[in-house]
Amino acid sequence: MAIKKIACCTDFSDNAEAAFVTALDMAEKYQAKLFVIHVLPPVINPISTDIEWALPDVPEQKSLILSLEERMQQDYGSRLKEDIDCELIVLNGHVSSEIITFLKDNSIDLVVVGSYGMSGMGLVVFGSVSRRVAHKAPCSVVIVRGI
């Protein structure tokens, strides 16, 4: 199997860190392009009216995306060697759906994910992103256990 494009999904958890280290090692070994992806899930403002939920303003959302891009650069971009071809990507939407779409649209050969990220109620509400990606990805999936 030729591995030319590797995606690594992150939620900044310890397991995502283990996935990044693994993906970085594989990108170096296979001389593959690395995409580090974070998906900003839909944010619902808990202040609601009687009729509907109030969604955050677009400028507020853009500010959050810029903050995430800066964090991606700080946490991951700053650790890349010069010979690693890498893109840091922040997407917005349903986490597993956005990841699957990105994998298909960019003809990714391999995706690396942590075994779990969120815990407690977050996992119950959102389900396991790793499980969904493993079942629906158009490419091979590596699930990495935490450090």
Segments making up each domain of the chain, as ranges: 5-43+51-144
Binning pLDDT at 50, 70 and 90, where does residue 50 land?
A: low
Asked whether the predicted pLDDT for residue 55 surpasses 80, the reply is: no
Confidence of residue 122 (pLDDT cuts 50, 70, 90): very low
In which band, very low, low, confident or very high, does the pLDDT at 126 lie, cut at 50, 70 and 90? Answer: very low
Both tokens assigned to 41: 């899930």
Q: Residue 94: how many CB atoms within 10 A of its CB? A: 16
Question: Which pTM value belongs to this model?
Answer: 0.82
How far is Cα 21 from Cα 1, in angstroms, rounded to an integer?
21
Fold of 5-43+51-144: Rossmann fold (3.40.50)
Query: In the chain, which ranges are E strands?
Result: 5-9, 33-40, 45-48, 53-54, 86-92, 110-114, 140-144
Question: 55-59: long-range contacts (C-beta < 8 A, 24 or more apart)?
Answer: none
